[in-house]
Structure formats: structure tokens, C-alpha cells
Amino acid sequence: MNNTRCALVAAAIIAAGSAATAETWRHGVVEAKGDAGILFMPVRFGEKYGVEIDMVQFVSSTVPVKALLAGEVDSYSTSPLVGIAAMAEGAPLRFVGCNWPGMTYNIYAKSDITSVEQLRGRSLGVSGPGSSPDLFAREVLHASGVDPAEVQFANAGGGGDRFRAVVAGIVEATATSSEYEEEAGRQNVNVIARAPEVTPNMLRNCIVTTQKAIDTKGEALVRFLAAQMEGHAYAMEHPDETYALAREIAHLPEDDTGPEFIFKEVVQYSAVTPELEMDVGKLQWNVDMMQRNGRIQNTFDITEFVDDGPRQQALELVKQQ
């Protein structure tokens, strides 16, 4: 869509919003933790754009896509990998933005494991086959010359549960958010791999919706994306408010330093992109990587599942505010 058309559509949305009741947009995310301040900040900007954002939390990154296909949410923001798996089976899903493309994940291991090579014969907790933790761990193993078949993969729940499982000795290693790195130091848990260094093409969070939602709720989608843009930009410019919101949403104690750590890492790696740009080249790499790891049978052209039109309209909408 050209810039003139985008501007006209954005102007029409603004005019319609002045007289319309805010439409609810249900958005799925994985359980709130130290990153919640960034992910939930857009809710505060929904009213400005005439949309009520209802955040729905899931315990695993593999669940939101099922909820989206069932019509229980209008979109979700989590690892693009589960969406790619559904797209490979013909699901009518569309990428409409990437709000956290920088992968901020670590491999954590018990104190006697100091390298990825030492994971041979050990248990490693993930959230399910084909999930972001699962495939991140497999790519890390490949990069270190370890056959994933030499490692015992175990379903160990959500991100926080997986980290606690290592601390408790239930599993010997796990792949989860880097926000637990400071806690790892206090719990005698080692960080043996970091995503930005080992898997720079993996993406952490992209926004996925359905073709049906684009066709029937397109205006609400544009408003939702505009709120996402402004909310993420505000979060990155107001760290103290972002920390406080993370603690409120995730019910974290005041001495939990996860929100500060994840924020600093996001800044360090420019991991959050308020304008929701989609790197099609990296998305295609993830498709090919999933095929290489046997999670999808055949690779495919990801551009068939990318719709940048709503994002372009949202950019124009934000500019006019």
C-alpha cells in the first residue's frame, strides 16, 4: 500500500474512532515475567487509539496459536516458530509485526555443567516439541557439535518453571529468558550459552493474527498495532515505569531485579523495535531452520504469510497523533 493510501486510511480510522465505541482486541502472550512492563505497556495506549486491549496469558509458547485458530484471541505475540509450524500445515495465519525480534534467551545449567558439550547424556527442560526453547536449545547444541539425540529433552513448563526446575535439580539444564541470569548467579546455576551470540537469526516475539481477523476486524487491528507502537516506545523511554509495571503484572517482589536486567539487555542488543518492523530474511531463516530440525516437513516462502499493510497504516495513524 502506498503512503498516500495509508494516510487516507489512517485519517478515516481517526475520524471513525471519534464517534465509535472502543472495540475489544484480545491479545495472547506467554506468562508475565520480568518482560511484562514492555509487553503490557501498550494496554495503556489502547483508549487513545479507540481499542480496548484484553491481554490473555498462556503458560507455554505453543498454546497461543491454538487459541488463535480457535477464535479465542484475535492475535498473539510470542515466538514465530509455533506460527510457522501451523503455516506449514496451511493455517491461514499472518505475521503483521515483530515487536521483540531480538532473541534474549540463555541456556542455564547446574553447577557441574560449564559448557554445552557437557550436556551429552543430561536432561534439558523445554516447554514442548517445536517451541522456541526447544529449537533454540537444538540450534545451540548443533553449534557446539552436539547431536540433540544425545540430550534428554523434558517438558518442564513455562519459563519461570523451567528455571526453578534447574535450581531444584529436576532437570540439569534449560533454555529460557535471559532475565534469570542474575538469579542464576545467586543460585549457583551457570549460563553456558546466550542467544545473541550463538543464534543471532532467531526471533523472540512477532505478532500473528488470522486472515479472517484482517478481513473482518482490520480497523481494530490497525488501532491495536498503533497502540503497540506507542506503548513499546513509551516503555523504552520510561524505564522506571516499565520496571514498576512488570512487578505489578507479574507479581514480582521489589527486590527482584529481573525487570531491570531484561530492560538493560534489550537496550544493549536493540532487541525491541517499536515500529514492529518485520525482517523477512530472518523469518525465512527460521522457516528453513525448522525444516532442518525436522519440525516441519518442507520449507516454504514466508512472504506468503506476511502482511505489512496493517502495520503501515498503523505507522501513519501514530504520526497523525
DSSP 182-205: HHHHHTT-EEEEEHHHH-TT-EEE
Claim to verify: residue 97 and residue 111 sit in the same structural domain = no
Claim to verify: residue 87 and residue 136 sit in the same structural domain = no
Q: Are 103 and 78 in contact (CB under 8 A)?
A: no
Claim to verify: residue 249 and residue 169 sit in the same structural domain = no
Find the distance separating the first CA and the last CA of the chain, reported in whole Å. Answer: 21
Claim to verify: residue 43 and residue 25 sit in the same structural domain = yes
Strands 152-155, 123-126: pairing kind? parallel
Claim to verify: residue 85 and residue 212 sit in the same structural domain = yes
Claim to verify: residue 62 and residue 146 sit in the same structural domain = no
Confidence at residue 66, expressed as pLDDT on a 0 to 100 scale: 93
Claim to verify: residue 86 and residue 230 sit in the same structural domain = yes
Claim to verify: residue 177 and residue 286 sit in the same structural domain = no
> Which of 152, 162, 111 lies closest to 132 in space, CA to CA?
162
Q: What total number of domains does the chain contain?
A: 2
Confidence at residue 127, expressed as pLDDT on a 0 to 100 scale: 85
Claim to verify: residue 259 and residue 114 sit in the same structural domain = no
The set of residues, in sequence order, having a beta carbon less than 8 Å from that of 281 and lying 6+ positions away, is none
Query: Which of 152, 169, 198 finishes a domain?
Result: 198
Q: Classify each residue of 87-105 as buried b or exposed e, where b means 16 or more C-beta atoms within 10 Å of its C-beta.
A: bbeebebbbbbbbbbbbbb
Query: Which of 131, 164, 198 finishes a domain?
Result: 198
> Which of 263, 302, 260, 295 lies closest to 281 in space, CA to CA?
302
pLDDT (tens, 9 = 90+) of the chain, 321 residues, equals: 444 344 434 444 444 444 356 899 999 998 888 899 999 999 999 999 999 999 999 987 778 999 999 999 999 998 899 899 999 999 999 999 999 988 889 999 999 999 999 999 999 999 878 788 899 999 999 999 999 999 999 999 888 899 999 999 999 999 998 889 989 999 999 999 999 999 999 998 999 999 999 999 999 999 999 999 999 999 999 999 999 999 999 999 999 888 999 999 899 989 999 999 999 999 999 999 999 999 999 999 999 999 999 999 999 999 998
Query: Which of 198, 229, 260 finishes a domain?
Result: 198
Domain containing 139: what range? 105-198
Confidence at residue 17, expressed as pLDDT on a 0 to 100 scale: 47
Confidence at residue 301, expressed as pLDDT on a 0 to 100 scale: 98
Claim to verify: residue 54 and residue 87 sit in the same structural domain = yes
What is the CATH classification number for the domain harbouring 190? 3.40.190.10
For residue 234, give the 3-state DSSP assignment.
helix
Claim to verify: residue 116 and residue 86 sit in the same structural domain = no
pTM above 0.95, yes or no: no
Claim to verify: residue 95 and residue 210 sit in the same structural domain = yes
